[in-house]
Amino acid sequence: MKAFSPSMSNYETWLAHELQGELVQEDIGEKHRKMRESSFAFLRATYWRWAEIVYEVRPELAGMPQVLSIGDTHLENFGTWRDIEGRLVWGANDFDDAAIMPYGLDLVRLVASAILALPDDGISGRAIAELVLAGYVRGLEHPNPVVLERDHPWLRDKLLLSEDERKEFWKKWESRKPGKKPAPGRFVEALKNALPKGSGNVTPVPVTKGTGSLGRPRFAAYVPEWRGGPVLREAKALVPSAWSLARSGDHVIRTGIIAAGRMRSPDPHFAVVGRILVRRLSPNSRKIEIKTDAKTLLNGAMLELMGFEIANCHSDDAANAATIRSDLRSRDEGWLHAAARAAAEATEREWKTYRAGAG
């Protein structure tokens, strides 16, 4: 297995090349800091490494039927938005590394992330795998967007913000200041086109957030008043999936394709414009994080629903879904737990080595 540090250097050189001079170097330093925090954060920050080593860890995964997949799947890659009907919808919401790959990789990575995030007295890794797989099978059989307007009241209650939290959300954006350098023209234009007509002139402000996407330029445009209230849009640079760097050589950006799949109800303001992802931000666009509510993320109903949503993403082609169901029937009981546990152990070892400064 190639040593981690040369692998990271190679990835960051590739990323800088793909961004053509727009790499945010200070954010790379922030990413390195986060990578030392925990093995879960390390997994989140190093998708390129996952793509590089996953077949070495579990060679049998390479033979699974291939499908357009999320790629960088993990516990925190799920959140809410409003669809074209104004309904609150929950599901996967980060498709930066979407690519065509064996369907099992999304499942293995999700379960591995949960194993790494587990508290000492938490649910077992085997139970996590069983719940995720049960949700996935149910989703393949009956795919359907996870709309929270009528169903899943327990999840809706967890995700809706209080009035004070909504006020705090907007207050934080009011205090944001423009960066030292103006935003590149392509981001200014993308944000201008994404805002509602009549928003006026807006100066984009730089944004630093996320883990795996740190280093990519990201800007937001905040309009304090438009027809009775504030409006907010975000623009983030896209590059080909890191899966293509390690595996397929396929440089097609499929972020918008998977997000708009036929078994999803997407945010109408989520759009890929060239190599920029533009989306609406609001108190309705929210996710649950490990640091604030690990109990909910590792709840049985939540894990089952995550598996269900992965199936929604994999079910854009009905024929593919049928092939996957057939393949699952041929798998031994416990295959997902065994693969995820091995992947989590490999990630844990690399994280400990990196944290010790010997990566």
Percentage of the chain with pLDDT > 70?
99
Segment 175-187 mean pLDDT: 89
Compute the distance between CA of residue 312 and CA of residue 103 in angstroms, rounded to an integer.
Answer: 12
- Strand-pairing partners, residue 69, are 99
Segment 3-16 mean pLDDT: 94
Of the pLDDT bands very low, low, confident and very high (cuts 50, 70, 90), residue 316 is: very high
Say which DSSP state 201 is in: -
**Model pLDDT for residues 25-39, shown as the tens digit of each residue:** 999 999 999 999 999
pLDDT at 60: 96
Segment 286-300 mean pLDDT: 92
CB-based contact 109:102 (threshold 8 Å)? no
CB-based contact 156:302 (threshold 8 Å)? no
Segment 147-174 mean pLDDT: 93
Question: What angle, rounded to 10 degrees, do the helices at 104-117 and 290-297 form?
Answer: 110
CB-based contact 152:296 (threshold 8 Å)? no
Predicted TM-score (pTM) of the model is 0.96
**Model pLDDT for residues 63-120, shown as the tens digit of each residue:** 999 999 999 999 999 999 999 999 999 999 999 999 999 999 999 999 999 999 988 7
pLDDT at 252: 95
pLDDT at 177: 84
pLDDT at 302: 97
pLDDT surpassing 90 at residue 154: yes
Polymer length of the chain: 359
**Model pLDDT for residues 200-251, shown as the tens digit of each residue:** 888 999 999 989 999 999 999 999 999 999 999 999 999 999 999 998 778 9
Q: How many CB atoms lie within 10 A of CB 108?
A: 29
Q: How many CB atoms lie within 10 A of CB 270?
A: 18
The residue type of 173 is: W
Angle at 95 (CA atoms; ends 59, 244), nearest 5 degrees: 45
Q: Total domain count for the chain?
A: 1
CB-based contact 296:123 (threshold 8 Å)? no
pLDDT at 181: 87
**Model pLDDT for residues 34-63, shown as the tens digit of each residue:** 999 999 999 999 999 999 999 999 999 999
Segment 140-168 mean pLDDT: 94
Segment 133-151 mean pLDDT: 96
Of the pLDDT bands very low, low, confident and very high (cuts 50, 70, 90), residue 358 is: low
Compute the distance between CA of residue 320 and CA of residue 315 in angstroms, rounded to an integer.
Answer: 7
Mean pLDDT for all residues in the chain: 94
Q: Which domain holds residue 140?
A: 4-355
Alpha helices, H only, the chain: 4-19, 25-35, 39-45, 47-57, 104-117, 125-141, 153-159, 163-174, 185-194, 242-243, 255-259, 290-297, 300-314, 318-329, 335-355
